[in-house]
Amino acid sequence: MPMKGLRTIDDLDVAGKTVLVRADLNVPMEDLMMTDGLRIERLKPTLRDLLQRDAKVVVISHFGRPKARFEAKYSLRRVREVLGTELGRPYLPFADDCIGPDAEEMVRNLEPGEIGLLENLRFHAGEEANDPMFAKQLAKLGDIYVNDAFSCAHRAHASVEGITHFLPSVAGRGMQQELEALNLALEAPERPVAAIVGGSKVSTKLAALTNLVAKVQVLIIGGGMANTFLHAQGVNVQKSLHEADLADTARAILVKATDVGCEIILPVDAVVAETLAPGVAVKTVPVTAVPAGQMMLDLGPKSVEQIIARLKGCRTLVWNGPLGAFETAPFDAATTAVARAVADLTHSNTLLSVAGGGDTMAALAKAGVDTSISYVSAAGGAFLEWLEGRKLPGVEALLANQRTSKAI
């Protein structure tokens, strides 16, 4: 479902114009090899569309966490060949800066239908400070701005928010796809809506849990954070990871859920061991009977059955976080079983499934179903802030720009 008020590259006449595309090229690299190409794969439709329509395309991005100065290990030269190869243009023009004479010369030399890449935005302090002068220098390079980096949309940086004050600004294909998927999942969903929230700590997802309780009909809590809720209910979780100081907070969330009619599903059994390591002795016990000196490291089969049975009655699912210590077998069993059930429900068109977060992506990939979910977000912080119900500066900037700028 299109997001109301959001203009996209479909609204552009780009022939002969210089289009600045904010990408997220912060991809994992080992030496000069990219180890995960999902972000570039999702960027390609925007770049190819603009190039086919004879735009002069200038890609801007950050890479790593440099301290506002040039650091060779964070140079986008490392990504240049990868991006060029993916686009079938191995000799991609590159500028040694993202503003100033080097950048201006590269942009000036581009012909319609050509693409170039500028150096790391974060080599300048003005990027993360959202300095208007830096944003204005970036904007000076182009005629139109396209944001295709949803994963950066929660940052009020110059290349995400500031630049929209100086150029007509629209969403790229990847940004558009992400926002449409998220809109379908929580803003205009088909009900009943379920959410799976896992991971180690309640404290990292407290705002998300609080927001989701008011938005979904079923909230499934797994991973270490489920232990905090069990502890809050008086269950002796023994050595299991939990946050005892958040017991009152957990109880408040349970009360709010009851008040608004949200069903919270917690584990009823668990796989326990004395330590988290491959090959350790494990057993399955009720959550109320964890042996002394042991810890819950995964959901048990009864908990998995309960979750899958409940999901069969839902029409929409949002998933963030694994249900157990999935990185170490056999504590990946619950996450894998639920992931495969979600994939089957998605395939049968009875469930719209949207998942996000680095651990969630890894868990779905490990289960072999990452391509069988309706939409998997490559964003980390932006996805979580969306779950929290927060407005994302990068998205708000596009909407504000489109309310005030002249027609493109």
Beta-carbon neighbour count of residue 2 at 10 Å? 10
Q: Residue 28 in contact with residue 35, Cβ under 8 Å?
A: yes
Radius of gyration for the alpha carbons in the chain, expressed in angstroms and rounded: 23
CA–CA dist 233, 247 (Å, integer): 8
The predicted structure's pLDDT at residue 402: 72
pLDDT of residue 407: 44
pLDDT of residue 27: 86
Q: Is 406 a catalytic residue?
A: no
Q: Which residues contact 52 (CB under 8 A, 6 or more apart)?
A: 113
Q: Classify the C-alpha dihedral 174-178-179-180 as positive or negative.
A: positive
- 157 in a structural domain: yes
- Whether residue 276 is found in the same domain as residue 214: yes
* Cis amide prior to 330 (ω within 30 degrees): yes
Taking alpha carbons only, the member of 400, 401, 2 closest to residue 183 is 2
Q: Domain check: are 166 and 210 in the same one?
A: no
- Does 382 fall in a domain? no
Whole-structure pTM value: 0.92
Full pLDDT tens readout for the chain, 408 residues:
557 789 999 998 999 999 999 999 998 877 767 767 788 999 999 999 999 999 999 999 999 999 999 999 999 999 999 999 999 998 899 999 999 999 999 999 999 999 999 999 999 999 999 999 999 999 999 999 999 999 999 999 999 999 999 999 999 999 999 999 999 998 889 999 999 999 988 899 999 999 999 999 999 999 999 999 999 999 999 999 999 999 999 999 999 999 999 999 999 999 999 999 998 999 999 999 999 999 999 999 999 999 999 999 999 999 999 999 999 999 999 999 999 999 999 999 999 999 998 899 999 999 999 999 999 998 888 999 999 999 999 999 999 987 665 545
Side chain identity at 273, as an amino acid letter? Answer: A
Choose among 201, 254, 195, 249: nearest CA to 219.
195
Question: Would you say residue 386 lies in a domain?
Answer: no
Residues 370 and 397 grouped into a single domain: no
Q: Which of 401, 402, 395, 399 is nearest to 154 (CA)?
A: 395
Angle, alpha carbons 277-280-284 (nearest 5°)? 110
Closest residue by Cα to residue 100 from 44, 138, 152: 138
Catalytic choice (7, 17, 22, 39): 39
Secondary structure of 322-382 as H, E, C letters: CCCCCCCCCCCHHHHHHHHHHHHHHHCCCCEEEEECHHHHHHHHHCCCCCCCCEEECCCHH
On whether both 145 and 213 belong to a single domain, the answer is: no
Same domain, 329 and 247: yes
Q: How many domains does the chain have?
A: 2
Give me the pLDDT at residue 36, please: 75
Judgement on whether residues 62 and 105 belong to the same structural domain of the protein: yes
Query: Which pair of tokens denotes residue 193?
Result: 């809506």
- The residue annotated as part of the active site, out of 64, 380, 381, 389, is 381
Q: Which helix (H) or strand (E) holds 145?
A: strand 144-147
Task: Check whether residue 158 and residue 208 sit in a common domain.
Answer: no
In-domain check, residue 271: yes
| Assigned domain for 70 exists | yes
201 is catalytic: yes
Determine the pLDDT at residue 403.
Answer: 67
Same domain, 286 and 395: no
Q: Is residue 180 part of a domain?
A: no
Q: Which CATH number does the domain housing residue 256 bear?
A: 3.40.50.1260
pLDDT at 130 (0 to 100): 98
DSSP result, 20-35? EEE------EETTEES
For the four alpha carbons of 155, 158, 159 and 160, in that order, the dihedral sign comes to positive
Catalytic residue among 48, 136, 201, 340: 201
Q: Is residue 126 part of a domain?
A: yes
Active-site annotation holds for 108: no
**312 and 234 together in one domain:** yes
Pick left, alpha or beta for residue 404 (phi over 0 → left; psi -120 to 50 → alpha; otherwise beta): alpha
Instruction: Mark whether 325 and 199 lie in a shared domain.
Output: yes
Alpha-carbon gap, residue 387 to 382, rounded angstroms:
9
Which of 396, 397, 389, 337 shows the shortest CA–CA distance to 363?
337
Residue 290 lies in a domain: yes
Rounded Cα–Cα distance for residues 285 and 272 (Å): 7
Of 139, 321, 49, 214, which Cα lies nearest the Cα of 118?
Answer: 139
Residues 137 and 238 both lie in one domain: no
Q: How far apart are CA 296 and CA 331, in angstroms?
A: 10
CA atoms of 385 and 205, how far apart (whole Å): 9
Q: How high is the pLDDT of residue 404? A: 66
Query: Quick check: is 73 catalytic?
Result: no
Domain range spanning residue 130? Answer: 9-174+391-404
Give the pLDDT score at 401. Answer: 86
Token digits for 119? 């150096």
363 lies in the same domain as 399: no
Give burial (CB, 10 Å; 0-12/13-18/19+) of 126: buried
On whether the CB atoms of residues 262 and 219 are closer than 8 A, the answer is: yes
